[in-house]
Amino acid sequence: MSRLFKPLILSAVIAALVSSAPIPTTSPEHDPCGVLGHLPLSNATVLHVSECYKSIDFNPSEAKTTLDSLYTLYNDFFIFRDAALTPNLALPFTSPPVDILAGLEQIRNNKYTTDYDFHADLALLAQSLNDAHVTYFPDCYNSFLFGQPWFLYTPVVNGQQSLRVYKDQWWGKYDECEVLQINEQDALPYLQAWADKNTGFSKDAGVRLNNVLVSQKYFAETQTWGAVAGSFSRRSSLPESEYVDYRVRCDRPNTSKGHDTEDIRLPWLMMGGPDPGTFTDKESFLQNICLATTETETETKPKPEPGILEEDVGPRHRPPVIESEVLTQNRREEHIREYTEKKERMFTKRAEGDPDQSVQDLPDATFVDGDITAVYQLKSKPNIGVL
């Protein structure tokens, strides 16, 4: 009988986690997963992870099991399959029609050499639906966290929307600099195209773009709001390359032009991964990270490295980060529930006697907190918050 990844699940979300590879035996000196497994996280790179992932060979028999299972799930249980075929959605919705079953057949006919490429195509197909009910998240190839030192946002300045650095976690000198290009392409169109391809949970392009940008999160422990990296700057999916190239323009009042333009290459940083010793070679990587067990599986996700908030800046260290969390598709419902409970506690605490912080231009609302987003509590309905 075929051995499967974390089992296929269909509830509000489809999460298909299926392996197409048997456990190989590889000599340590030629085993990229063995190299990765023996490296401290601070010395590992995107290239190490990529070589491990892509060392796992494609297996046609196991791939057929995966595709047959997904066909049954999409055909028999995905109730929005016909809706996904709708062309020319009314604005602001901008999502092309997707024939999910035809997409599976196309993948079935593709020629693969690595297990990673096969599962990456299945993940992109699920994301192309732009439907929060569907995700394909193979634990095997989402077992590490990657981060960029910059958080990005898109403020409107003088009537113009632009992409800017919200927080430079590395040097601290590029905050508010305008990002003109990413990987030699105009920055905003590049980021929108990346969001359209990789977020996969909304028909609205604006919502998809917001997902890749910095946002706010309420931290119950400190009763404060903090910045959370968007899915472009923090991700568990393997980055496209080892670096991201930026061209930025920064206001410099003391220069003749009043600004400087710089080209900056930022590496992807290793933000978290499996516990040390979880795997030491390709065999144990597949056994302990990828393959299902006979016991009930719980969701696995890479763990941030201990002390990551306190480390010094340096080429081999993650910069100090704003507390953040990668919200994978199958975590969103849990996140929303937790956030709602924390928000209710916060508003209750405010209503029970915290000092009044009413804002002059909003006489019917009390300002609660805010930075990227202003949060208000309605005086007439204390349990209602407005962003």
Q: What pLDDT is recorded for position 321? A: 35
Gap between the Cα atoms of 268 and 183, Å rounded: 14
Q: What pLDDT is recorded for position 4? A: 36
Q: What pLDDT is recorded for position 324? A: 36
CATH code at 147-219+230-267: 2.30.42
Q: What pLDDT is recorded for position 259? A: 83
Helices (H), 77-149: 100-109, 115-128
Q: What pLDDT is recorded for position 376? A: 67
Nearest CA among 321, 269, 265, 235 for reference residue 45: 269
* Backbone φ/ψ region at 181: left (φ over 0), alpha (ψ -120 to 50), beta: beta
The CATH 2.30.42 domain(s) of the chain lie at 147-219+230-267
- DSSP code string of 306-330: TTTTTPPPBTTBPPP--------GG
In single-letter form, the type of residue at position 112 comes to Y
Please write the tens of the pLDDT for every residue from 173-214: 999 999 999 999 999 999 999 999 999 989 999 999 999 999
State the 10-residue block means of pLDDT for the chain, 387 residues long. Answer: 36 37 51 96 96 97 97 95 91 92 98 98 97 92 97 90 94 95 98 96 93 88 85 96 97 80 97 94 96 55 47 30 38 51 52 46 65 64 62
Q: What pLDDT is recorded for position 333? A: 52
Residues 6+ apart with CB under 8 A from 231: 198, 199, 211, 212, 326, 327
Q: What pLDDT is recorded for position 293? A: 63
Nearest CA among 333, 270, 268, 273 for reference residue 300: 273
Q: What pLDDT is recorded for position 320? A: 33
Angle at 315 between CA 314 and CA 319, to 5 degrees: 50
Nearest CA among 1, 6, 200, 237 for reference residue 103: 200
